[in-house]
Amino acid sequence: MSSTETTTRPWRLGRVPLLAAVTAATLVASSLVAMPSASAASFNLEGWAAQGGGTTGGGNASAVTVTDSAGLISNMQASGARVIRVSGTISISGMQKVAANKTIIGVGGNATITGGGLNVASVSNVIIRNINFRNWGDDAINVQYSTRVWIDHNSFSNGSDGAVDIKRSSDYITVSWNRVFSHDKSFLLGHSDNNAGEDVGRLRVSYHHNWFDGSNQRHPRVRFGNPVHVYNNFYRGNGGYGVASTCNAGVLVEGNYFENVDDPYHRGEGSSPVGGLVARNNHFVNSGSGQAGGSVNGIPYGYSLDPAANVKSIVTGGAGTGRI
């Protein structure tokens, strides 16, 4: 899918002395469309998944409640719009396909999918909310060749590989208000350094108000996507790193709260070449200063930006399951 979005002038911010950095940040602020807020952002959809026609999932379809794997899988894979309410703990195996125009939403705070994951592949218009994902064998949620996806208010723990992997030409996606804990590899964006042909101009994702609660790395790890928007997230005790921008990606890291994170963000990762990373208005407590540089395309949408110093309380009070 080619982009129809307009962008503003790219931001450029290198590793410069403090006074110059503050001046650059002031100049950057004049080109942003953020709308500062004194209170927590709403739980409504915002960011990239609201673009490209928006994301409605099953819309106003009559809800069906599922309590076992057979009911979950048959409804996820059915044609047409569906709202699927997950009740209790459901064990699945492998990666189970999700068809287009689906909302999958947990009932209360205990709805759980364990053992396997959801495969959002070659579809559009999918919402996944309020689910505890545990002990998956591959990825908890895999998104590929798909557009207009909203992943919101889930909790991820103790999985084998990625919590949320987004790759292969996917676009217009928001990942919001999730909690990741007791887990290593959190959010991967772009699977390979060799996939530029499919991914350049796509992989546009917003990550906001997520709680990376002692998780290790990939919060997110980005290839090619530009602009990728990482804002108002709470990072606590992440042993590997927070954000990595690689393969000519453009990542705006703004208004986040980093606590006990030695490496909040950097350019390049492993053998992957560097991408652009602009950082502004972040809050650091017993954390490193991060590495920024290069350029990032302008954010084309409006959004509510909470003050970074308030993000810890806002996110811990609102992220994860049982909050909607």
CA distance 232 to 255: 5
Report how far apart, in Å, the C-alpha atoms of 174 and of each of 62, 73, 91, 147, 252 are.
Answer: 24, 24, 26, 10, 14
- What is the chain's length? 324
CA angle 161/100/152 to nearest 5° reads 50
Q: Half-sphere exposure of 171 toward its Cβ, with a 13 Å CA cutoff?
A: 17
Residue 296 has phi, psi (to 5 degrees) of: -140, 135
Task: Enter the tokens of residue 13.
Answer: 């911010």
| Residues recognised as catalytic | 218
Report how far apart, in Å, the C-alpha atoms of 44 and of each of 80, 153, 174, 200, 317 are.
Answer: 24, 11, 11, 28, 16
Indicate the helix (H) or strand (E) that contains 11.
Answer: strand 11-12
82 beta partners: 102
CA distance 290 to 263: 6
Instruction: State the sign of the Cα–Cα–Cα–Cα dihedral 116, 139, 168, 256.
Output: positive
**Residue matched to tokens 């953020």:** 34
**Residue matched to tokens 């017993």:** 286
